[in-house]
């Protein structure tokens, strides 16, 4: 892994010089700022049973749908389209190092953007002068969920980019997979078919895979190791598939 940090630094520089990175950052902060404002407006009209952080993290899927595709769509697709990926892989560097370096750069920016939203809660605490608005439990749990689930979300974007030469197609594919993953199990768990005798044994499994249940648990301070295992192993498997996809596409190009 001696070339990993070299690739990581190159990818970070590429993201810093890419206009898409700043478009993503601005859109993300505007969207999350708007969501936070709406939440506070609801709290000003009527008392709520949970802290603003719980409702804030429940909206995680809104920025994920555009942030992850924008951050990852060019990781491999653009290099393959320009013909620079083959040159990179002929150098003394392994495919795994390339995939991990590109993934790490996108993931670090993902964490950085989410980390910037911590200022929303701090500013609210300063001006409201109410310790309840800076409840450490939901904040720590929510940001832990963001960090752990982001491993899987970003790795999905990297895999989608490794499968195509077009970054537009990679972005659409990433959005489709994320939408299916986040809403698919929730929709499946709410169908009447899951209550039938034949599918009833699978109902608990489907409920355990519902990401909305995960974020609710984390935001309430419940950290389930099975959920952590799901995201970590899912991201590892997705990155392995990314390595295989890059090698296959390179050999057949």
Cα 229 to Cα 119: distance, rounded to the nearest angstrom: 30
Comparison of pLDDT for 91 and 22, the residue scoring more: 22
**Alpha carbon of 25 to those of 64, 68, 79: distances in Å?**
12, 11, 23
Is 90 exceeded by the pLDDT of residue 148? yes
Confidence tier at 131 by pLDDT (50, 70, 90): low
Confidence tier at 125 by pLDDT (50, 70, 90): confident
Confidence tier at 248 by pLDDT (50, 70, 90): confident
pLDDT score at 31: 94
Report the SS3 class of residue 253: coil
When divided into structural domains, the chain yields a total of 1
Is 90 exceeded by the pLDDT of residue 249? no
pTM: 0.91
Region 192-196: mean pLDDT is 64
Is 80 exceeded by the pLDDT of residue 139? yes
Cα 199 to Cα 71: distance, rounded to the nearest angstrom: 38
Quote the domain boundaries for residue 40. 4-251
Region 218-240: mean pLDDT is 92
- The residue behind tokens 């720590």 is 140
Tokens of 161: 């980019």
Cα 253 to Cα 162: distance, rounded to the nearest angstrom: 13
Cα 49 to Cα 26: distance, rounded to the nearest angstrom: 31
Confidence tier at 200 by pLDDT (50, 70, 90): low
Q: Give pLDDT tens digits for 35-49.
A: 999 988 887 777 667
Q: Give pLDDT tens digits for 53-86.
A: 888 999 999 999 999 999 999 888 877 777 767 6
């Amino acid at each position: 892994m001696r070339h990993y940090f070299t690739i990581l630094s190159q990818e970070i520089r590429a993201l810093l010089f890419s206009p898409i990175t700043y478009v993503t950052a601005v859109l993300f902060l505007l969207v999350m700022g708007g969501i936070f404002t709406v939440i506070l407006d609801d709290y000003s009209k009527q008392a709520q049973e949970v802290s603003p952080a719980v409702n804030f993290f429940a909206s995680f899927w809104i920025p994920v749908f555009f942030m992850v595709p924008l951050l990852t769509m060019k990781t491999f697709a653009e290099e393959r389209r320009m013909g620079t990926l083959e040159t990179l892989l002929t150098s003394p560097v392994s495919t795994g190092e390339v995939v991990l370096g590109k993934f790490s750069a996108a993931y670090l920016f993902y964490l950085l953007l989410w980390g910037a939203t911590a200022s929303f809660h701090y500013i609210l605490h300063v001006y409201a002068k109410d310790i309840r608005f800076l409840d450490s439990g939901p904040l720590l749990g929510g940001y832990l969920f963001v960090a752990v689930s982001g491993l899987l979300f970003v790795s999905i974007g990297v895999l989608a980019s490794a499968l195509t030469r077009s970054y537009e197609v990679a972005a659409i594919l990433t959005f489709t997979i994320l939408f299916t993953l986040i809403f698919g199990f929730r929709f499946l768990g709410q169908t009447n078919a899951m209550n039938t005798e034949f599918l009833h044994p699978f109902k608990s499994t489907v409920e355990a895979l519902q990401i909305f249940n995960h974020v609710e648990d984390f935001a309430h301070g419940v950290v389930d190791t099975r959920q952590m295992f799901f995201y970590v192993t899912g991201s590892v498997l997705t990155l392995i598939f990314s390595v295989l996809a890059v090698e296959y596409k390179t050999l057949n190009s």
